[in-house]
Amino acid sequence: MTHAVDRPQGALSASARAADLLARMTLREKIGQMTQAEKNSVTPDEVRRFGLGSVLSGGGGNPEPNTPAAWRAMVLGFREAALESRLGVPLLYGVDAVHGHNNVVGATVFPHNVGLGAIGDADLVRRIGRATAVEVAATGVRWTFAPAVSVPLDVRWGRTYEGYGQDPDLVGRLAAAYVEGLRGADWATPDAVLPSVKHFVADGGAVHGTSTRWDRAAVKSLADDPTLANAHVDEGFVELLDRGAWTIDQGDVAVDERTLRDVFLAPYLPALAAGALNVMVSYGSWHGLRMHAHRYLITDVLKGELGFEGFVVTDWAAIDQIEPDFDVCVERSINAGIDMVMVPFDHQRFMDALEAAVERGAVAEARIDDAVHRILTTKARLGLFDAVGDPEREPALDAVGHPDHRRIAHEAARRSPVLLQNRGDALPLPPTLPALLVAGTAADDVGLQCGGWTISWMGAAGPITPGTTLLQGLQRLRPDAEITFEPDGHGTARAPVGIVAVAEAPYAEGMGDRNDLDLAAADLALIERVRARVDALVLVVYSGRPVVLGDAVRHADAIVAAWLPGSEGAAIAEPLVGVSAFEATLRYRWPAASADLPLHPFGTDPSAGPAALWDLGHGLRTHVERSST
């Protein structure tokens, strides 16, 4: 398979600028450009002294206070320090803006990709990318570690919600649209944000039980782990390990090369053709060889066969997993084709190790020059050397959480729910409904409906950022109905219809890996309590993946997969009451039992394996109640 990426107009002048600068750099300055440190572990003074190429905010790497103004001041402090280095090379600041500028309190939080995939509208994804870029750029940031172009095979994986679905064509089409949205008119405009197409490659294919990220026998030592400390993970981590955390993420992919290409590599092609200038490598391995050390996939396939001319970045401290010896990790990753290394905690150690590797001949300086040329060319393409890099020309801070962006998020949240079941036409709710019982804390909880990667790495329940909820939407759209809200469902009121909202607790990455996806016993008990007091029961499920519903299928007349709709949760009420119709469809096979997992459409005839409770493409339709508008 071959695929050539057209050289965009203006790339040659950017390349020439990079070459001129490269010729004036010392080895140490070149290595500085290849180094990315986390903001909690580096100072602006160190950025200036070492000439670092990039700084990032990891999940939860927020300033205090967490406001758009504080974000902009923090980022500009690092950017201005970089301009004071000997050669004044601009800094590229990166964040995990994976569903909006989601680390910033008050930013628009869009539905996670699992919901956007259910809609399948590339134009909507493009508009979300554009709105996200404007909010990100308003805080001085010009790089986001998104989109994920993974194709999750086992939905027990904690990153399932970052994938658009189990269809490589859909994933590639929506990823390309998101890249185009982040770019806007041109990469050099001050509101363009560099996407990081990730995670190269096949992170969605890891096998349950193959992750070696944590030694369960040494769990008591995890309190000293810098990644967990940086993300403020609490003692509940031990319980999550028992439930299956870190059993899939960063694990091994065992598929053959044809499947690797047809399923996992295929979505990269449209994203690269859309102009992506950065690719992030997967933590995982392919038949035991870590992707970060995989010269064949990074250099031969991505850079050679696919003609990728941008730069390749590692994931968070990912090269450390290649070998026990850090010096060997540095040597092997750079020789494999890595251009920039994310070393969140010890940038100077990395710089020293790479400099020593070049001096002893283990890494050729030509490989260093290639990496730095790619980084500098991308910075030039982004206009960071020119007047458009002037912060005064970047979007104003009032772009963050702008009403226009919230309207796009509202549209996405309204269109993303999938109607899985609708016995007796329980939905839409009749316009003359006199009373409605709403139960479950998730019905009125912004944090639960946003999920992970929201304000912090893991996300959290509660009013963590401004937004609207399903309960508020129902109250607005049914002002004449007597609406009773019971967070725990322990009341005595009766109603013709009850709506129960349940949610997965927020999670991110391997922290969300699970051994099973059974609905919690407390949620089933809540459903049963409400079922006894209503004539019709509607179940709304907030989740980052299909979950095993068990007896809830029997108890509920209607079941709605609402996914993780983001900050504008009130929009979920619109298809429930008939203001809009249900239109989304499943892009993941929905399991009837956890024992049926993994459940996906690849490698075997679906009819030969466990049957899905609801299969790809399933999604019931409803009519629009005109009197509800």
| 468 secondary structure, DSSP code | B
Q: Which CATH number fits domain 11-211+246-396: 3.20.20.300, 3.40.50.10950, 3.90.25.10, 3.90.600.10?
A: 3.20.20.300
- The backbone region for 176, taken as left when phi is positive above 0, alpha when psi lies in -120 to 50, beta otherwise, is alpha
Render pLDDT for 556-597 as a digit per residue (tens, 0 to 9).
999 999 999 999 999 999 999 999 999 999 999 999 999 999
> What's the average model confidence in pLDDT over 523-535?
98
Asked if the model's pLDDT at residue 2 lies above 50, the reply is no
Residue 473 burial (C-beta neighbours within 10 Å; 0-12, 13-18, 19+): buried
- Residue pair 474/499 in contact by the 8 Å Cβ criterion: yes
**Mean pLDDT across the chain:** 94
User: How many Å apart are CA 34 and CA 334, to the nearest integer?
Assistant: 10
Q: What is the pLDDT of residue 627?
A: 46
pLDDT given at position 603: 78
Instruction: Show me where the domains of the chain are located.
Output: 11-211+246-396, 404-628
Global pTM? 0.96
Taking 3-state DSSP, the helix, strand and coil percentages for the chain, each rounded to the nearest 5, stand at 40, 15, 45
Query: Is pLDDT at 5 greater than 60 in this prediction?
Result: no
Q: Which of 72-86, 105-119, 434-448, 615-629 has the lowest mean pLDDT?
A: 615-629
The 3-state DSSP class for residue 594 equals: helix
Banded pLDDT at 271 (limits 50, 70, 90): very high
Is 526's pLDDT higher than 50? yes
Catalytic positions are 315, 509
DSSP 302: I
Mean pLDDT of 139-160: 98
CB 463 within 8 A of CB 454: no
pLDDT digits (tens, 9 = 90+) for 195-226: 999 999 999 999 999 999 888 777 666 666 78
Contact 357, 331 (CB under 8 A): yes
3-state secondary structure of 94: strand
Axis-axis angle for helices 365-381, 11-22 (nearest 10): 130
User: CA-CA distance, 372 to 112, in Å (whole number)?
Assistant: 33
Cα(14)–Cα(199) distance, rounded to whole angstroms?
26
pLDDT at 236: 76
CA atoms within 13 A on the CB side of 544: 30
d(CA 153, CA 148): 14
Give the residue-averaged pLDDT of 604-613: 79
**Residue 12 — very low, low, confident or very high, per pLDDT cuts 50/70/90?**
low
Lowest mean pLDDT among 1-15, 38-52, 224-238, 424-438: 1-15
In this prediction, residues 301-316 reach a mean pLDDT of 98
Strand partners, 260: none
Query: Rounded to an integer, what distance in angstroms lies between the CA atom of residue 566 and that of residue 561?
Result: 14
Q: What is the pLDDT of residues 313-360, one digit of tens each?
A: 999 999 999 999 999 999 999 999 999 999 999 999 999 999 999 999
Chain centroid to Cα 507, Å, comes to 12
Answer whether residue 228 shows pLDDT above 70.
yes
CATH for 404-628, among 3.60.15.10, 3.40.50.300, 3.40.50.1700, 1.10.600.10?
3.40.50.1700
Distance (Å) of CA 65 to CA 69, 135, 625: 9, 18, 45
Residue 626 has pLDDT above 60, yes or no: no
